[in-house]
Structure 1
Amino acid sequence: MPQNPFSPDEQQRIVEAIRQAEKATSGEIRVHVEAHCSKADPVQRAIDVFAQLGMHETKDQNGVLFYLAHADRKFAIIGDKGIDAKVPVDFWESTKDLLRSHFKQGAYAKGLSLGIERAGQQLKHYFPYTSDDINELSDDISFD
């Protein structure tokens, strides 16, 4: 199975969703995709990827990672301490439900784009964009 399950158009749609979400916030959103999850629990793998991508180094600890192991049909969404402490208790779980409903239909790009938009709304609420904001992390999808 290919490392990149997305067509060029789908990939562009996901990157554009990240850019749109980050326009209104100092938060950072990343998407990481691989065929297989090397851990039994995708959350544990997402924590490893979060560290590998340097996401814990954002100024306000407000990075959000969407992790997808497409061949294994596993995924996770994790937020750094800053955003995790502020979002509603059920936020990550309800966002996972949104993604899951699209993933079941094979609509990975749509699910990710909608989840990214939803995370961006929360980031905008708790970490609004400031004029001195810099894009601390790449908007491109990373692949393993």
Structure 2
Amino acid sequence: MNHFLTNTEMASLVEAIKIAEDHSSGEIRVHIDSTSETNFAEKAFGIFKSLDMHLTKERNAVLFYVNFEQHYLTIIGDEGIHKKVKQSFWDTIHDEITAEFAKENYYNGLKQAILKTGFELKKYFPVIGENINELSNDISFS
């Protein structure tokens, strides 16, 4: 059970994803893990694949994988977006989110990161023609 975000905040994050993906072919997902497994990095990559994030046309999907209880966050950007923004972008976003999480601003930390990621996706992957939503915007859980 998620005790860190209200239902209203989760719905607002889904809206932030829609806004972030607008005018970009990029895809953003948030996954909240509440298990107590220890190999989170491996699990995050498994979730990335199970959500078919590696199958987007331009390989520009981004996953925010969070385990609030275990204080774990990773951001996985597929090869298309990663080539454009480099590791320093992800490191900065990660630091900004964790700083907000440290203040228990879970919603604001994720929302700002989603919107900043969307800005980069729009810069490097603008929509040409119809903007097809390749992946669900819903938050997933495990």
TM-score (normalised: structure 1)? 0.92
C-alpha contact 2:64 2:74 (8 A) present in aligned 1: yes
Q: Distance in 1 between matches of 2:90 and 2:100?
A: 16
Deviation at 1:37?
5.2
Q: Percent identity?
A: 40
Q: Distance in 1 between matches of 2:3 and 2:77?
A: 23
Cα RMSD over matched residues? 1.3
Task: Spell out structure 1 runs of 4+ moving beyond 6 A.
Answer: none
SS in structure 2 at match of 1:85 = helix
Aligned residues: 142
Deviation at 1:36?
2.7
Where structure 2 has 5 or more consecutive residues not aligned to the other structure, the ranges are none
Deviation at 1:131?
2.3
C-alpha contact 2:66 2:72 (8 A) present in aligned 1: yes
- Which of 66, 77, 85 pairs up with 2:75? 77
Q: Distance in 2 between matches of 1:119 and 1:46?
A: 18
Deviation at 1:11?
0.6
Q: Which has the higher helix share?
A: 2
TM-score (normalised: structure 2)? 0.94
Deviation at 1:49?
0.8
Where structure 1 has 5 or more consecutive residues not aligned to the other structure, the ranges are none
